[in-house]
Amino acid sequence: MVKYNTAFFASLETMFEILLKRFGKKIALTIFKEFMELNLTKAYSEILAKRLSGKGNFKKIVGERDKALGLKVEFEDFNEKSFAYRFLTDPFPNLKGLVKPEELDAGYLKFKIFYFLGKNWGYKTTKHFWKGDGQTEHIIYQTS
């Protein structure tokens, strides 16, 4: 297992804190989202060019990328239309209290879901480190 990439995540936390202080929460979240989308597009560009999509590819590709950054993640299938995406490592622990967890998580999670699963998928967060849970759990489900 790759060690948690402290420098990578700390730089994102620092960037967010500067944006928050200088421009406020709304702009900080908007820029964070844009940064994450561009960064993830570059990270997944070869995969996206091959149009690899679907639940299996989401779990394989997103899981491998997360693990390469030192995040411990796991997945659990419930049925063909839903599964759990669990973070066993908090990627942004130093932002707790500065922004709501669902606001920050939306900055990267919506992108991943849209590009690998499409617009007919959504998610709900059932557990979160920042709320005292021992993990962050997103239930990803097909909406239609």
Q: What is the pLDDT of residue 45?
A: 75
Distance CA 126, CA 86 (A): 10
Q: What is the pLDDT of residue 57?
A: 80
CATH 3.10.20.340 at 6-142, yes or no: no
Element (H or E) spanning 66, and its range? helix 63-68
Residue showing tokens 């709501």: 100
Q: Domain boundaries in the chain? A: 6-142
In this predicted model, what pLDDT tens digit does every residue of 94-114 receive, in sequence order?
999 999 999 999 999 999 998
In this predicted model, what pLDDT tens digit does every residue of 61-103 receive, in sequence order?
889 889 999 999 999 999 989 999 999 999 999 999 999 999 9
Residues in contact with 92: Cβ distance below 8 Å, sequence separation at least 6, in sequence order: 9, 12, 13, 16, 104
In this predicted model, what pLDDT tens digit does every residue of 23-76 receive, in sequence order?
999 999 999 999 999 999 888 876 655 555 678 888 988 898 899 999 999 999
Q: What is the pLDDT of residue 97?
A: 97
Distance CA 39, CA 96 (A): 22
Half-sphere exposure of 85 (CA within 13 A, CB side): 25
Distance CA 90, CA 106 (A): 15
Residue 94 in contact with residue 10, Cβ under 8 Å? Answer: yes
Distance CA 113, CA 127 (A): 18
